[in-house]
């Protein structure tokens, strides 16, 4: 996208002319968005609010002009215009109170957990694609998952597909990584490629919302998932063992937990999605990397499935 003639010029907050001698270069994290070719525009310092009107039309992609602006305005934040950037950003918030009834499931604590649940439910193992796309941690404890927008035009949503999940596309923006709000930064936690938006996600964002999008209980074949006190206790015990594992034993403990819970997943006595989410979160919490967690959990669940353990 070529810079527009009316983009961030003159004496307003978006002035982006040459950098005068003696000014420090822009913070490198704030250049992440423009380095990827995404149109950006200024936000008010320390804020998530646009610093100028018609921000979507006036967003620019010229790195030199963005550097000049940031050099002239230390402490400024940037916004990414998701529509012109060709992005769909899924905004997963930290927990906001108690989950509603349809999301009161084991392992569901925030918007990211809900997104992984939806990925498993609607896309099989596509939760791995969600985790692998470009991801930014927000100051409030949430996450922004960046996807390439599909051919169909998507608009912004709030809570449409699940608890604590919003989305930004055409007509929307997100705060760019490197920006600081309330003294805390938006930080890149996975700097890989931006993956195309999964088909199941696009479908959920375009179809008429129904309760079928977020069923409270899944089924395995024709047998309802059996959420007994025993299986809930088994889940808590195994997750607790991972969280308490000492350094050097965390991967082994995670694998053992996945095996044990996998024996119950195989019979439908535990929900596979809930187990995946809980194990992944526990592995992340003790410092294991995403790739290591996925491989370890997958291996343990496969082995457990070979020795099903049905609850009486």
Higher pLDDT, 129 or 83: 83
Write the pLDDT tens digit of every residue in 22-67: 334 456 688 999 999 999 999 998 999 999 889 999 999 999 999 9
| Residues contacting residue 140 through CB under 8 Å, at least 6 positions apart | 93, 94
| Residues contacting residue 58 through CB under 8 Å, at least 6 positions apart | 4, 6, 7, 8, 14, 41, 52
Average confidence (pLDDT) over 131-152:
93
Name which of 118-127, 138-147, 156-165, 180-189 the model is least confident about.
118-127
Write the pLDDT tens digit of every residue in 233-285: 788 888 888 888 888 888 889 999 999 998 888 888 887 877 888 888 788 87
Q: Is 124 left (phi over 0), alpha (psi -120 to 50) or beta?
A: left
Q: Is the pLDDT of residue 96 over 50?
A: yes
Angle of helix 250-265 versus helix 229-244 axis, rounded to 10: 170
Q: What percent of the chain has pLDDT over 90?
A: 41
Write the pLDDT tens digit of every residue in 205-221: 998 654 444 433 333 33
**Domains of the chain, residue spans:** 219-305
Q: Are 13 and 42 in contact (CB under 8 A)?
A: yes
pLDDT in the model for residue 26 = 52
Task: Write down the mean pLDDT value for the chain.
Answer: 81
Average confidence (pLDDT) over 84-105:
88
Q: Give the C-alpha distances (Å, rounded to integers) separating 269 from 228, 231, 263, 272, 275.
A: 8, 7, 9, 9, 11
Token pair for 167: 């989305």
Token pair for 160: 């449409």
């Amino acid at each position: 996208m070529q810079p527009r003639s009316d983009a961030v010029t003159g004496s307003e907050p978006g002035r982006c002319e040459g950098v005068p001698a003696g000014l420090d270069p822009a913070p490198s994290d704030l250049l992440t968005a423009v380095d990827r070719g995404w149109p950006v525009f200024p936000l008010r310092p320390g804020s998530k609010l646009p610093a100028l009107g018609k921000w979507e039309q006036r967003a620019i992609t010229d790195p030199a002009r963005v550097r000049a602006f940031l050099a002239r305005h230390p402490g400024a934040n940037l916004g990414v215009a998701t529509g012109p950037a060709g992005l769909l950003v899924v905004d997963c918030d930290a927990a906001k109170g108690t989950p509603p009834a349809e999301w009161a499931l084991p392992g569901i604590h925030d918007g990211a957990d809900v997104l992984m649940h939806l990925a498993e439910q609607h896309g099989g193992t596509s939760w791995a694609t969600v985790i692998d796309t470009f991801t930014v941690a927000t100051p409030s404890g949430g996450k922004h998952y960046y996807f390439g927008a599909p051919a169909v035009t998507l608009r912004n949503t709030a809570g449409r597909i699940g608890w604590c999940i919003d989305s930004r596309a055409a007509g929307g923006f997100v705060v760019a990584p490197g920006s600081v709000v309330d003294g805390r930064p938006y930080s890149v936690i996975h700097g890989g490629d931006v993956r195309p938006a999964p088909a199941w996600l696009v479908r959920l964002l375009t179809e008429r919302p129904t309760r079928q999008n977020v069923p409270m209980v899944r089924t395995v074949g024709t047998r309802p998932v059996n959420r007994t006190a025993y299986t809930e206790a088994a889940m808590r015990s195994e997750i607790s063992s991972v969280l308490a594992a000492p350094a050097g034993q965390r991967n082994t403990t995670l694998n053992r937990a996945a095996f044990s819970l996998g024996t119950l997943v195989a019979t439908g006595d535990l929900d596979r999605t809930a187990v995946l989410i809980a194990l992944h979160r526990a592995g992340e919490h003790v410092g294991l990397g995403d790739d290591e967690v996925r491989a370890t959990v997958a291996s343990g669940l496969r082995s457990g499935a070979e020795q099903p353990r049905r609850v009486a």
